[in-house]
C-alpha cells in the first residue's frame, strides 16, 4: 500500500478523511483497513468490497449452474455443447458446405461426399429435396388427417349412441313400471274382490246362525214358561189343581221344532283358497295379451315410429334422432321383428285396414340394410305390398295380385323347413300369394309403412290356460 496525493479523500467505509489507496484500487482509512483485516484475516488479499464482489459472483455462478444443469450454455454468441449455426452447415467429414441431399441414404452431403461414397446414389439440390420431401409428407399426412376426422366422427357417434342408450333405458324403465303397475292393480282388485266375497259369505252365514239362535232362545223361553206353569199347578191343592188342569194341559201342548243339524253352515274355505293363484292366472287372460311378433326398434328406419308396446308402426315425415347402428335400415321405411326364425312354422296377423302403402313379409338376416335396391327373393326379401293402389308380390317382375276384396288383415305364414312363405286374408283364410325357397339362414318378419294417415298393427292372439 502507498500514499497518494488524494489521500485526503473520504473513506467509503466511515466517511472520514485520510483514506489510503489499496493495491486493489479501492480506498479505506487506517481504522477501516484494520477492521477489514480482523474480519477477513491478515493473509486475505484485497478489501471488503473485493470480497463482497467475489462472494456475489460465486453465489450467482452456483445459481446459474443449478438452473441450467444439463442444458447447453451460451458462450458469447454460441451455445456450449452445440455447433454454431455456421458449423451446422458444414460436412462433419470434410468441413465443406453441405450442398446436396442423398435420396437413398436420406442425408445431407457435400460435393466431396457426392464424389466419393455417394457417387452412385441419386442426389438432388437441397431446395429440390426440400420440395420433394414436403410433397411426400403432405401425401402421407392426408390419410392421417382423414383418419383423424374419421376418429372424431366415430367419437361423436359414440357420444350420441351413449345418449340414445340412456334415453332407451329411461323409457324402458318407465314402460316396465307402467306394465307392473297394471299387473299390481289387477292383483289388488282381485284381492279386494276375493276378500269381499269371503266377507259376504261370513256375514250371510253369521246372520243365519244369529237367526237360529234367536229362534232357539224364543223356544227355550216358551218351554220354560210351560214347565214353570205346570210345576206351579202341581204344587196347588187338589181342588185348585183339578180346576186348572185343563188349562195347564193346554199350555203344556206347545210345539217346539227339533233344532237338528244343518250342513253348509261353515265358511267354504276350500272355495276361497283352493288353486287361488291358478284361478287368478286364468282370469288374467282378460288382461294379458300375447303378440307373436314384437318389433325391434334398433332396426327401424329413421322415419318409422313404434308404439310403446312395439306392435304398431307409424310413418313420420320428421326423422327420428337415433344412432345409425349396423342393424338399422335406410331407404325402406321399415322395421324387423325382434326374433328371427331358423326352424319351425310361424304365423302372425297384421291389421292393414285403410293403410294406403305397406309391405309385409320376411327377410334373411344378412339382407343389405344401408342401400336401396328393388326388393326380391334374389336380394333376400320375400314380401308383398300395396303401392300406388296396386297389390304386388315383390318378385323380379313385380307380380301383380288379383284379389276378390280389399283385405283388412293379412296373415303371414313361414314354414322354414318346408321352404314356404304364404300370405292370406286373415278374415276368410283365402290365399293371396305363396313363395317357394330353400332357406339357409335365420329369417326375420318384415314390416314397412309409408302411409301418412294410417298405422300397421300386429294383432294379439288369444291366450288360453289348460290343465292336464
pLDDT score, position 407: 95
**10-residue mean pLDDT series, the chain (468 residues):** 49 72 73 70 61 61 58 44 54 78 81 74 80 83 89 90 92 93 92 95 92 87 84 82 78 70 85 90 82 95 94 93 91 93 96 95 95 92 94 94 93 96 94 95 96 93 74
Q: What span, in angstroms and rounded, lies between the C-alpha atoms of 22 and 425?
A: 127
100 and 109 in contact (C-beta within 8 Å)? yes
Q: What span, in angstroms and rounded, lies between the C-alpha atoms of 382 and 378?
A: 9
Please tell me the pTM assigned to this model: 0.63
What contacts 245, CB < 8 A, 6 or more positions away?
A: 233
Question: What does the DSSP 8-state code read for residue 368?
Answer: -
**Beta partners for residue 125, in sequence order:** 100
Q: Strand, coil or helix: what is 392?
A: strand
3-state helix, strand, coil split of the chain in percent (to 5) is 40, 20, 40
302-341 burial code (b ≥16 CB/10 A, e <16) = bbbbbeeebbbbbbeeeeeebbeeeebbeebbbbbbeebb
Q: Residue 281, Cβ neighbours under 10 Å: how many?
A: 12
Determine phi and psi for 391, rounding to 5 degrees.
-90, 130
342 and 443 in contact (C-beta within 8 Å)? yes
- Number of C-alpha atoms within 13 angstroms, CB side, residue 18? 6
Q: What span, in angstroms and rounded, lies between the C-alpha atoms of 391 and 406?
A: 10
**DSSP codes, 125-190:** EHHHHHHHHHHHHHHHHHHHHHHHHHHHHHHHHHHHHHHHHHHHHHHHHHHHHHHHHHHHHHHHHH
Q: What span, in angstroms and rounded, lies between the C-alpha atoms of 252 and 241?
A: 14
In which element (H, E) is residue 198 found?
A: helix 126-234
74 and 64 in contact (C-beta within 8 Å)? no
Q: What span, in angstroms and rounded, lies between the C-alpha atoms of 349 and 252?
A: 83
Amino acid at each position: 500500500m502507498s500514499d497518494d496525493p488524494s489521500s485526503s479523500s473520504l473513506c467509503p467505509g466511515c466517511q472520514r478523511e485520510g483514506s489510503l489507496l489499496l493495491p486493489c484500487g479501492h480506498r479505506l482509512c487506517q481504522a477501516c483497513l484494520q477492521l477489514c483485516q480482523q474480519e477477513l484475516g491478515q493473509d486475505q488479499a484485497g478489501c471488503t468490497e473485493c470480497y463482497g464482489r467475489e462472494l456475489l459472483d460465486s453465489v450467482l455462478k452456483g445459481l446459474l449452474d443449478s438452473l441450467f444443469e444439463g442444458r447447453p450454455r451460451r458462450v458469447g454468441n454460441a451455445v456450449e455443447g452445440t455447433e454454431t449455426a455456421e458449423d451446422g452447415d458444414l460436412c462433419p467429414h470434410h468441413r465443406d458446405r453441405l450442398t446436396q441431399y442423398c435420396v437413398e441414404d436420406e442425408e445431407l452431403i457435400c460435393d466431396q461426399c457426392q464424389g466419393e461414397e455417394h457417387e452412385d446414389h441419386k442426389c438432388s439440390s437441397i431446395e429440390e429435396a426440400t420440395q420433394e420431401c414436403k410433397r411426400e409428407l403432405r401425401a402421407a399426412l392426408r390419410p392421417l388427417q382423414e383418419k383423424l376426422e374419421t376418429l372424431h366422427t366415430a367419437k361423436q357417434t359414440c357420444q350420441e349412441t351413449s345418449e340414445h342408450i340412456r334415453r332407451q333405458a329411461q323409457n324402458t324403465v318407465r314402460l316396465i313400471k307402467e306394465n307392473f303397475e297394471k299387473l299390481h292393480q289387477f292383483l289388488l282388485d282381485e284381492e279386494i274382490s276375493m276378500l269381499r266375497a269371503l266377507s259376504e259369505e261370513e256375514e250371510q252365514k253369521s246372520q243365519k246362525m244369529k237367526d237360529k239362535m234367536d229362534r232357539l232362545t224364543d223356544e227355550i223361553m216358551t218351554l220354560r214358561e210351560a214347565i214353570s206353569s205346570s210345576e206351579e199347578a202341581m204344587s196347588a191343592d187338589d181342588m185348585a189343581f183339578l180346576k186348572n188342569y185343563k188349562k195347564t194341559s193346554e199350555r203344556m201342548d206347545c210345539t217346539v221344532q227339533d233344532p237338528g243339524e244343518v250342513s253348509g253352515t261353515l265358511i267354504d274355505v276350500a272355495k276361497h283358497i283352493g288353486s287361488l293363484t291358478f284361478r287368478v292366472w286364468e282370469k288374467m287372460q282378460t288382461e294379458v295379451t300375447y303378440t307373436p311378433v314384437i318389433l325391434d326398434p334398433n332396426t327401424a328406419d329413421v322415419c318409422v315410429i313404434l308404439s310403446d308396446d312395439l306392435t304398431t308402426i307409424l310413418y313420420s315425415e320428421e326423422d327420428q334422432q337415433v344412432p345409425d347402428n349396423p342393424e338399422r335400415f335406410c331407404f325402406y321405411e321399415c322395421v324387423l321383428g325382434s326374433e328371427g326364425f331358423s326352424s319351425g312354422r310361424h304365423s302372425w296377423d297384421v291389421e292393414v285396414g285403410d293403410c294406403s302403402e305397406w309391405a309385409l313379409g320376411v327377410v334373411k338376416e344378412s339382407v343389405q340394410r344401408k342401400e336401396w335396391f328393388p326388393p326380391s327373393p334374389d336380394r333376400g326379401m320375400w314380401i308383398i305390398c300395396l303401392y300406388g293402389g296396386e297389390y304386388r308380390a315383390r318378385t323380379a317382375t313385380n307380380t301383380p295380385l288379383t284379389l276378390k276384396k280389399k283385405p283388412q288383415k293379412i296373415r303371414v305364414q313361414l314354414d322354414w323347413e318346408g321352404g314356404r312363405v304364404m300370405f292370406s286374408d286373415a278374415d276368410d283364410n283365402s290365399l293371396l300369394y305363396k313363395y317357394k325357397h330353400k332357406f339357409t339362414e335365420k329369417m326375420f318378419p318384415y314390416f314397412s309403412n309409408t302411409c301418412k294417415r294410417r298405422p300397421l298393427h300386429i294383432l294379439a292372439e288369444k291366450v288360453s290356460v289348460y290343465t292336464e
